[in-house]
Chain A
Amino acid sequence: AQKITQTQPGMFVQEKEAVTLDCTYDTSDPSYGLFWYKQPSSGEMIFLIYQGSYDQQNATEGRYSLNFQKARKSANLVISASQLGDSAMYFCAMREGGTGRRALTFGSGTRLQVQP
Chain B
Amino acid sequence: KAGVTQTPRYLIKTRGQQVTLSCSPISGHRSVSWYQQTPGQGLQFLFEYFSETQRNKGNFPGRFSGRQFSNSRSEMNVSTLELGDSALYLCASSLDSVTSVGYTFGSGTRLTVV
Residues of chain A within 8 A of B31, CB atoms compared: 102
Interface of A is mostly: loop
Instruction: Tell me whether B33 and A102 are in contact (CB under 8 A).
Output: yes
Interface size class of A (residues with CB under 8 A): 20 to 34
A91 within 8 A of B: yes
State in angstroms the CA–CA spacing of A108 and B92 once bound together. 18
Q: Which of B78-110 contact A (CB under 8 A)?
A: 88, 90, 92, 94, 96-98, 101-108, 110
Residues of chain A within 8 A of B48, CB atoms compared: 102-103
Residues of chain A within 8 A of B64, CB atoms compared: none
Chain A residue at minimum C-beta to C-beta distance from B41: A108
A11 within 8 A of B: no
Q: Which of A37-96 contact B (CB under 8 A)?
A: 37, 42-47, 50, 52, 91, 93
A25 within 8 A of B: no
B58 within 8 A of A: yes
A105 within 8 A of B: yes
CB within 8 Å of A: which residues of B? 31, 33, 35, 42-45, 48, 55-56, 58, 88, 90, 92, 94, 96-98, 101-108, 110
3 closest pairs, A vs B, by CB? A45-B105, A106-B43, A103-B45
CB within 8 Å of B: which residues of A? 33, 35, 37, 42-47, 50, 52, 91, 93, 98-99, 101-109
